[in-house]
Amino acid sequence: MGKVIVVTSGKGGVGKTTSTAALGAALAQRNEKVVVVDFDVGLRNLDLVMGAERRVVYDLINVIQGDAKLTQALIRDKRLENLFLLPASQTRDKDNLTPEGVEWVINELKRYFDWVICDSPAGIERGATLAMRHADIAVVVTNPEVSSVRDSDRIIGLLDSKTMKAERGERMEKHLLLTRYDGARAQRGDMLKVDDVLEILSIPLLGIIPESTDVLRASNLGAPVTLADARCAPSLAYFEAARRLAGEDIPVSIPEEKRSILGKIFARRAA
């Protein structure tokens, strides 16, 4: 049985979709079978970032309503043969997501894939709660600024109370993915420092993704950043995060200013 990951944040625009695509492509490059599922019904974006927007025929809602088979709705990536996309519907709204339908789809996907990565919509309403409902692992995407941190804190509270795992009395595995991190600005105090964010959220750190134009460039090309340029700084950080998700214990490095010497790079353990 595969593992179900929800990529969530509460706040919009912090990098959920980008991170879903990048982590999905990074895990698929480890020869594992991956499906990325877009839960943002009505405002879908994952198909664009994956470069599959012209290949969407059926979507998640069609599958839930029985208009299409799951295999008909899955889109295989053209670059990685073990990476698949289940797109959201752009013309429907979130009310079409039913708890039973979502449960059935997730259980089916778990049978065929090693990783089922659910891209949650922003907010704490139906779409977001259904995306996290069946997850085994949560990746909480947070920017180093106060509103994002507080929204993430709220989401962590929901992960601990509204998910199947929580209702069964188990502990949801939660990881912090700090995105759009700018070492120089954090040094100047314009941005929250890594330690501040970790202290407030008190969940283990999965990775720190540096702020970079490479991410935007990749999105516009329609490719996950870990596919578009596997050697750029954000890609390396996403590859490391994927290794940690897969269970490897490697230290997290904080991206510093480019001119800083190697010795200034603090290494820390992922808890």
Partner 1 sequence: MTEVLTDSRSIRIKGRSFLAVVLSPDLPLDDWLVRLDDLAARSAGFFLNRPVVLDVADLGINRAELTEFLEKLAERNVRIMGIEGAKPSMISPGMPPVLKGGRPAGDVEVTATEATETGAEDKHETTVASAPPATAVASESRSAHPSLVINEPVRSGQSIIFTEGDVTVVGSVASGAEVIAGGSVHIYGALRGRAMAGSVGNASARIFCRKLEAELIAIDGIYKMAEDLPPELLGKPVQLWLEGDAIMAEKLN
Min CB(192)–partner 1 separation in Å: 13
Min CB(156)–partner 1 separation in Å: 5
DSSP annotation of 264: G
Nearer to partner 1, 162 or 243 (CB): 162
Min CB(34)–partner 1 separation in Å: 30
Given a contact cutoff of 8 angstroms between Cβ atoms, the answer to whether 58 and 261 are in contact is: no
Neighbours of 165 (CB within 10 A): 20
Min CB(154)–partner 1 separation in Å: 4
- Spatial CA neighbour of 40 closest among 21, 68, 67: 21
Nearer to partner 1, 151 or 211 (CB): 151
Given a contact cutoff of 8 angstroms between Cβ atoms, the answer to whether 140 and 151 are in contact is: no
Rounded-to-integer distance, Cα 251 and Cα 26, Å: 18
Rounded-to-integer distance, Cα 183 and Cα 185, Å: 6
> Would the CA dihedral through 33, 156, 143, 120 be positive or negative?
positive
Nearer to partner 1, 21 or 197 (CB): 197
Min CB(47)–partner 1 separation in Å: 32
The helix/strand/coil state of 271 is: coil
How is residue 164 written in tokens? Answer: 């199947």
The helix/strand/coil state of 237 is: helix
Strand partners, 6: 118, 138
Nearer to partner 1, 184 or 200 (CB): 200
Min CB(12)–partner 1 separation in Å: 17
Nearer to partner 1, 156 or 186 (CB): 156
Which positions touch partner 1 (CB under 8 A)?
Answer: 150-151, 153-154, 156-158, 160, 199-200, 202
Nearer to partner 1, 51 or 144 (CB): 144
How is residue 11 written in tokens? Answer: 């706040």
- Spatial CA neighbour of 102 closest among 70, 123, 131: 131
Min CB(153)–partner 1 separation in Å: 4
Nearer to partner 1, 83 or 192 (CB): 192
